[in-house]
Amino acid sequence: MIKIAASILAADFLNLGADVERMRQAGADYLHCDVMDGRFVPNISFGQPIVKAVAATGMPLDVHLMIEDPDKYIDEFARLGARIITVHQEATKHLNRTLHHIRELGCLAGVSICPATPPETLGWSLGDFDVALIMSVNPGFGGQKIVPSAVKKIAVLRDMLEKAGVAAEIEVDGNVALDTAQEIVNNGARLLVTGSALFKAPDAGAFIRTLKGMEAGA
Ligand code: DX5
Ligand code: ZN
């Protein structure tokens, strides 16, 4: 089953509550929260206060930490109610330890890789995560164009997981839109993050239904 994570980076921050409600009614499964530190990525977004505010809506949170030293903040985001906490492979010194810590806190453990990072880098961690987040753009900004080679890595990772008999979810983040999502789904992703395309869609509910219906064509 395809699940949709609405990326609040694309929301109207002056009307965040209304936008979250719009996403809930449209059928989003998660709110995707992009936490950026201006160090791991060249942009700063938001942190704990916004995550706390959207947690109060009761929507499941998918927290994407695009930060250096993510270990410093994992406990706090777990306490705020994150369902999924994702760290970047490139920013995490002891990935196995960090992922197990996220699980111990009662959250689903996610690991993300940037477009230039090979999926094989996760080869010795296959049992350690619940979600693998493949970035289909370079992290840091919404509204970018897809990196086509990153989409190919989805199938590589799916094969690695299948061979190992591991049932982790593949999530894709960056320029997921009506014209890009089918290939992403065909390659094996089942959790789709969408920001600009979803929030700008004239009918967010129809947009989400179309994306969810793409599994049939996979
Ligand atoms: C990019 C973020 C994404 C972003 C996606 O660094 O991780 O979650 O919000 O936005 P769109 O869908 O606009 O590419
Ligand atoms: Zn993200």
Please say if the pLDDT value at position 217 is more than 90. no
CA 125 vs. chain centroid, Å, equals 18
19 is in an annotated binding site: no
Q: What is the pLDDT of residue 38?
A: 98
Is it the case that residue 211 has pLDDT exceeding 80? yes
Active site residue 128: no
Asked whether 6 and 23 are in contact (CB, 8 A), the reply is yes
For ligand 1, the distance from its centroid to the CA atom of residue 175, given in whole angstroms, is 7
Tokens 């906490």 map to which residue?
85
Q: How many helices (H) and strands (E) does the chain have?
A: 8, 8
Average confidence (pLDDT) over 210-216: 94
- Is the shortest distance between the CB of 7 and ligand 1 below 6 Å? yes
Task: Give residue 142 CA to ligand 1 midpoint distance, Å.
Answer: 4
Q: Is the pLDDT of residue 218 over 90?
A: no
Q: pLDDT of 69-107, one tens digit each?
A: 999 999 999 999 999 999 999 999 999 999 999 999 999
CB 165 within 8 A of CB 186: no
User: How many CB atoms are closer than 10 A to CB 4?
Assistant: 24
pLDDT greater than 80 at residue 4:
yes
Angle at 101 between CA 121 and CA 36, to 5 degrees: 70
Give yes or no for residue 147 CB within 6 A of ligand 1: no
Residue bearing the CA closest to ligand 1, atom 12: 195
3 forms bridges with which residues in the sheet?
191
> Is 77 annotated to bind ligand?
no
Residue 169: name the closest of 86, 68, 70, 74 by CA.
86
pLDDT at residue 2 greater than cutoff 80: yes
Looking at every residue in the chain, the average pLDDT score rounds to 98
